[in-house]
Structure 1
Amino acid sequence: MSPFLHIRTEKFPVLPGEEEEIVNPGTFGKSFAQFIEGTLKRAEYDVPFIVCEDWGWWVEVKLPQCRLGITCYRDHDENTMCDFACSPSPPKERVWSWTRFRFVDIAAELVQIRRTLVEAFTADPEINFLGEVDEIPLYQN
């Protein structure tokens, strides 16, 4: 399973006031993170918050066995058509749970989260789903 989902769209602009929230220059993507947050909430996932990090945006997801995040990246291109990528973090099928003090298997949850996001991307006519890739597809130039 490739960790990154890659899309291209004009749907997720830089939001008014987002400049004041970002940690590093160019780490926009709040509207993309909000889209992912809404998609997961509609699929009945517990999404307690989103937050800007120094590399992009984090969408927190609380699973029954642990917490994980969906990392959201926006290409720094100033064009209206822009590339975005997201990935579960950690992208591993087994993760350490401090509350259970053991490794837990989240493979089924990862598959379902990916399926939910891919379905949302492909169902939206404003989003061009470019596929699943092994390495972050942004910042290649």
Structure 2
Amino acid sequence: MKTQVRFRSKKFPPYESEEEQLNPGIWGKRLAEYLATRLAEKGIETGEINAEDWGWFLPIKTTGPAIALCCGHQDGEDDEFLCFSEPSTPVVRKLFNKVDLTPQLSRLLGAIEQILASDPDVREVVWEEPR
């Protein structure tokens, strides 16, 4: 399952001092806020956006095991971004059981695909399997 997407957009510049919360050269809070708003329009609730050293963590409210969307600016040009799901695969281990999150991840990633495809300010969208 392709659970990460790379794209380009000038729509998500860093906030002033945002990079102080993350590693140098990393930002994406505007992107996380944008996705939270757009996901809500599609009936997908999110939790509080959290800073991580690699970017922004956006929890998705769901029943069952936790899932999230992780996103941020990538090294390189100022308009390069990456978003990926957590977990990065649809089947995860919980204690001695395997849990299939395919329906939840498919809904989330399908919504992200629609959001990015419908935005004229987003270009060069490439979906990938996790490395």
Q: Which TM class, normalised by the smaller chain length?
A: 0.7 to 0.9
Is residue 72–residue 87 contact of structure 1 (8 Å, CA) maintained in 2? yes
Unaligned runs of 5+ in 1: 137-141
Q: Secondary structure at the match of 2:58?
A: strand
Match of 1:12 in 2: 12
TM-score normalized by structure 1? Answer: 0.80
- For residues 75 and 28 of structure 2, what CA distance do their matches in structure 1 show? 10
Identity %: 26
> What amino acid is aligned across from residue 110 of structure 2 in structure 1?
R
Q: Residue deviations 1:76-125, cap 9 Å, x none?
A: 3464xx11110101122123458xx8543210111111110011101011
Is residue 4–residue 128 contact of structure 2 (8 Å, CA) maintained in 1? yes
> What amino acid is aligned across from residue 89 of structure 2 in structure 1?
K
Match of 2:81 in 1: 84
TM-score normalized by structure 2? Answer: 0.86
Unaligned runs of 5+ in 2: none
Runs of 4+ residues deviating >3 angstroms: 76-79
Match of 1:64 in 2: 63
- For residues 85 and 63 of structure 1, what CA distance do their matches in structure 2 show? 23
Match of 1:37 in 2: 36
Is residue 3–residue 87 contact of structure 1 (8 Å, CA) maintained in 2? yes
Is residue 70–residue 87 contact of structure 1 (8 Å, CA) maintained in 2? yes
Q: Secondary structure at the match of 1:63?
A: coil
Q: Secondary structure at the match of 2:106?
A: helix
RMSD: 2.1
2:104 matched to 1:109? yes
- For residues 94 and 47 of structure 1, what CA distance do their matches in structure 2 show? 21
- For residues 16 and 42 of structure 2, what CA distance do their matches in structure 1 show? 28
- For residues 27 and 13 of structure 1, what CA distance do their matches in structure 2 show? 11
Aligned residues: 131
- For residues 35 and 55 of structure 1, what CA distance do their matches in structure 2 show? 18
Match of 1:139 in 2: none
- For residues 8 and 96 of structure 1, what CA distance do their matches in structure 2 show? 34
**Structure 1 residues 129, 121: closer, same or farther in 2, change over 3 A?**
farther
